[in-house]
Structure 1
Amino acid sequence: MSFKISSLALAVATLSTVSIANAAGLDRSTQPSWAFTEQGTFAYVEHITIAPTVEGKDNKKVATTDANFTAGRNVPDMAEDYQFLNFGAKADVNDTISVGAFFDQPWAADVEYSGDNNFVGAPTSIVNGIYAQAAAGLQSAGIALPVTNATELQTAISTIQNQVTAGQARLDAANTQLTQAQAALAANPALAPVLTPQITALQQGIAAGTTQVNAGRAAITNLSTAQAVTNNLSNVTGATNVSVSSQNFTGLLGVKLGEKKNIQIYGGPTIQRLEGDVHLRGNAYKTASGYDANITRDTAYGWMAGIAYLKPEIALKAALTYRSEIDHDTTMYENFPALAARGLPTQGTNEITITTPKSVNLDFQTGLNPTTLLTAKARWVPWSDFAIKPKIYNAAAIASGNGDLNLVDYSKDAWTAEVGLGKKLSPQLAISGAVGYDSGAGNPITSLGPVEGNWNVGLGAKYNLTPEWAVSGGVKYLMFGDAKAKLPDGSIVGDFQDNDGWVYGVRLSYQKK
Structure 2
Amino acid sequence: MKLKKLTTAILLSTLPTAGAFAAAMDRSGQSMSAFFQPGNYFEAGLSVLDPTVEGVEAGKSATQRHIGDMADSYYFPSAALKLQVADQFSVGILYDQPFGAKAEYSGNNVFVSAPNDLILSSLPGLTTSAIGADIQGNTNVEVDTQNLSLILGYQPTENWNIYGGAAYQTVKGHVSLRGSAYSLYNGYDANIKETGGMGWLAGVAFQIPEIALKASVTYRSEIDHDVTIRESIGLVDHIANIPPGQLPALPPAAGALIGGAIAANAAEGKTTITTPQSVNLDFQTGIMADTVAFANVRWVNWKDFAIRPYKFGKVSEVVGQAVGRPNGFNLVEYSEDQWSVTAGVGRKLTEKWAGNVSVGWDSGAGNPVTTLGPTEGFWNVGLGAQYSPTPQTFIAGGVKYFWLGDAKAQTGAQAGGSDYVAEFKDNHALAYGLKIGYRF
TM-score, scaled to structure 1: 0.76
1:346 is displaced (CA, Å) by 3.4
Read off the aligned partner of 2:280 and give its amino acid letter: N
Change (3 A) 1:127 1:306: closer
Residue 121, structure 1, aligned to residue 106, structure 2: no
- Residue 144 of structure 2 corresponds to 245
1:132 is displaced (CA, Å) by 6.2
- Residue 163 of structure 1 corresponds to none
Partner SS state of residue 25, structure 1: coil
Does the aligned pair in 1 maintain the 2:410–2:421 contact within 8 Å? yes
- Residue 420 of structure 1 corresponds to 344
Change (3 A) 1:322 1:55: same
- Residue 218 of structure 1 corresponds to none
1:471 is displaced (CA, Å) by 0.2
- Residue 274 of structure 2 corresponds to 355
- Residue 264 of structure 1 corresponds to 161
Higher relative contact order (CA 8 A, sep 6+): 1
Residue 2, structure 1, aligned to residue 5, structure 2: no
1:126 is displaced (CA, Å) by 1.5
Partner SS state of residue 64, structure 2: strand
Distance in structure 2 (CA, Å) of the matches to 1:423 and 1:99: 29
The count of residues paired between Structure 1 and Structure 2 equals 408
Bigger radius of gyration, 1 or 2? 1
Distance in structure 1 (CA, Å) of the matches to 2:89 and 2:59: 62
Distance in structure 2 (CA, Å) of the matches to 1:249 and 1:29: 13
Distance in structure 2 (CA, Å) of the matches to 1:348 and 1:115: 34
- Residue 80 of structure 1 corresponds to 72
User: What CA deviation, in whole Å up to 9, does each residue of 1:474-509 have, x standing for no partner?
Assistant: 111110110000112223110000000011100011
Read off the aligned partner of 2:160 and give its amino acid letter: I
Distance in structure 1 (CA, Å) of the matches to 2:367 and 2:121: 30
Distance in structure 2 (CA, Å) of the matches to 1:128 and 1:308: 55
Does the aligned pair in 2 maintain the 1:123–1:286 contact within 8 Å? no
- Residue 425 of structure 2 corresponds to 497
1:32 is displaced (CA, Å) by 3.8
Alignment of 1:208-227 (within 5 A): none
Instruction: Say which of 274, 287, 293 aligns to 2:190.
Output: 293
Partner SS state of residue 229, structure 2: strand
Distance in structure 2 (CA, Å) of the matches to 1:301 and 1:149: 43
Instruction: Say which of 429, 439, 445 aligns to 2:363.
Output: 439
Distance in structure 1 (CA, Å) of the matches to 2:388 and 2:341: 28
- Residue 13 of structure 1 corresponds to 14
Change (3 A) 1:133 1:121: closer
1:133 is displaced (CA, Å) by 4.9
1:296 is displaced (CA, Å) by 2.2
User: What CA deviation, in whole Å up to 9, does each residue of 1:100-119 have, x standing for no partner?
Assistant: 11110001000101111111
Change (3 A) 1:41 1:73: same
Does the aligned pair in 2 maintain the 1:123–1:281 contact within 8 Å? no
User: What CA deviation, in whole Å up to 9, does each residue of 1:391-421 have, x standing for no partner?
Assistant: 2222222212122201100000000001100
Distance in structure 1 (CA, Å) of the matches to 2:299 and 2:95: 21
Partner SS state of residue 181, structure 2: helix
Does the aligned pair in 1 maintain the 2:120–2:183 contact within 8 Å? no
Q: What root-mean-square deviation, in Å, do the aligned CA atoms of Structure 1 and Structure 2 show?
A: 2.0
- Residue 157 of structure 1 corresponds to none
- Residue 332 of structure 2 corresponds to 408
Read off the aligned partner of 1:296 and give its amino acid letter: K
TM-score, scaled to structure 2: 0.89
Does the aligned pair in 1 maintain the 2:119–2:183 contact within 8 Å? no
1:334 is displaced (CA, Å) by 1.3
Alignment of 1:20-169 (within 5 A): 20-59=19-58, 61-62=60-61, 72-122=64-114, 124-126=116-118, 133=125
Q: Which consecutive unaligned segments of at least 5 residues does structure 1 have?
A: 64-70, 135-147, 151-226
Query: Which has a greater percent of strand?
Result: 2
Distance in structure 2 (CA, Å) of the matches to 1:263 and 1:507: 27
Partner SS state of residue 35, structure 1: helix
Query: Which has a greater percent of helix?
Result: 1
- Residue 232 of structure 2 corresponds to 335
Distance in structure 2 (CA, Å) of the matches to 1:317 and 1:130: 59
Does the aligned pair in 1 maintain the 2:265–2:314 contact within 8 Å? no
Does the aligned pair in 2 maintain the 1:332–1:349 contact within 8 Å? no
- Residue 324 of structure 1 corresponds to 221
Partner SS state of residue 77, structure 1: coil
1:312 is displaced (CA, Å) by 1.9
1:238 is displaced (CA, Å) by 1.4
Change (3 A) 1:439 1:132: closer
Does the aligned pair in 1 maintain the 2:118–2:128 contact within 8 Å? no
Does the aligned pair in 1 maintain the 2:12–2:355 contact within 8 Å? yes
Moved more, 26-35 or 263-272: 26-35
Residue 311, structure 1, aligned to residue 211, structure 2: no
Change (3 A) 1:466 1:378: same
Distance in structure 1 (CA, Å) of the matches to 2:118 and 2:128: 12
Partner SS state of residue 9, structure 1: helix
Does the aligned pair in 1 maintain the 2:60–2:420 contact within 8 Å? no
Distance in structure 1 (CA, Å) of the matches to 2:337 and 2:120: 39
Change (3 A) 1:60 1:255: closer
1:350 is displaced (CA, Å) by 2.3
Does the aligned pair in 1 maintain the 2:9–2:347 contact within 8 Å? yes
Distance in structure 2 (CA, Å) of the matches to 1:460 and 1:443: 32
Does the aligned pair in 2 maintain the 1:131–1:149 contact within 8 Å? no
Distance in structure 2 (CA, Å) of the matches to 1:60 and 1:441: 20
- Residue 254 of structure 1 corresponds to 153
Distance in structure 2 (CA, Å) of the matches to 1:127 and 1:322: 44
Partner SS state of residue 420, structure 1: strand
Read off the aligned partner of 1:7 and give its amino acid letter: T
1:348 is displaced (CA, Å) by 5.7
Distance in structure 2 (CA, Å) of the matches to 1:72 and 1:369: 55
Change (3 A) 1:43 1:346: same
Partner SS state of residue 33, structure 2: helix
Distance in structure 1 (CA, Å) of the matches to 2:45 and 2:115: 43
Does the aligned pair in 2 maintain the 1:334–1:348 contact within 8 Å? no
Distance in structure 1 (CA, Å) of the matches to 2:123 and 2:407: 34
1:149 is displaced (CA, Å) by 9.2
1:387 is displaced (CA, Å) by 0.4
